[in-house]
Chains A and B, each alone.
Chain A
């Protein structure tokens, strides 16, 4: 193995990492496309309201917008914690 080959093989194949990251990111961004841009903010604010009563993780909520034939459906899904967390007292 020549000196040049040695340097070459010791380099990480960063392009492969780039490709994988891009594939994941772009699939995610494409899925968001065409949806109203207030969704992330809506999600954030819903989360804040819910946290007045129950403590939930950041990723416990998902907000989706689906198009039926003639109507749009806003779906909000919140996964509550298993047991531990007691509901906080109203108004938090």
Chain B
């Protein structure tokens, strides 16, 4: 039985797809058979971030409609044998996702995989609610910014009331806070909510803090999940997140402003 992880946030542009790509690659690198699904029907992007956009033949909706089977639609990652991508449909509208259809696909994936990561679209429409419906764990991606924090809290309400686990009275979804695009410098200046502030407001278990990083754009330019850039701060932070998720105790890093040497000050960001 796979564990189903939803990467959610409510707000767009917060780092859900970046996170889904990083976490799924990280789990796969740790030897876990992992599938990552793009739930953003009509606005497919996970394929680009994963670097498999030219190998998309069939998609999630094809599988739901029985026009292709899972083996035909899953794209095997070229860097890691344990990782498979199920792309979103680019042409169908959001209503092509049905609760029953999604349930069947997840059930089938569960037989073969250890983890299924669901990359949620923004908003609280069908794609987003279905991405979280069957989840066992939720990674709530939040930026240290008022609207993002508020939207995250809204998603927590939906996770607690509209998920399969909630409806069937099972143990609730495990919720984790992932604070991304964090700028220790701006926190120090009092311009940005700190990790403690956000945690106090949302009272969630902190899975990790991903710094605002140039490495993320670089990684997306080349279609490489940023976790593979293990020299970068964001890559390392995502690496920590995956190990923490798997139960290791890993101290939080990148919470303080980095002391740069002269070289760093001249050439760094």
Contacts and interface: CB of A to CB of B under 8 A. Distances in A.
A14 B150 contact: no
B189 A34 contact: no
Contact of A13 (B157, B190, B201): B190
Contacts, number: 48
A18 B154 CA distance: 17
Contact of A15 (B161, B187, B202): B187
Interface in A2-18: 8, 11-16, 18
Contact of B150 (A11, A12, A15, A26): A26
Contacts of A33: 157, 161
A33 B191 CA distance: 30
A18 B193 contact: yes
Interface in B166-192: 187, 189-192
A42 B117 CA distance: 40
Nearest to B153: A26
Interface string B144-161: 011001100110010001
A34 B190 contact: no
Contacts of A11: 189-191
B194 interface: yes
Contacts of B200: 19
Interface of B: 145-146, 149-150, 153-154, 157, 161, 187, 189-194, 197, 200-202
Interface of A: 8, 11-16, 18-19, 21-23, 25-26, 29-30, 33-34
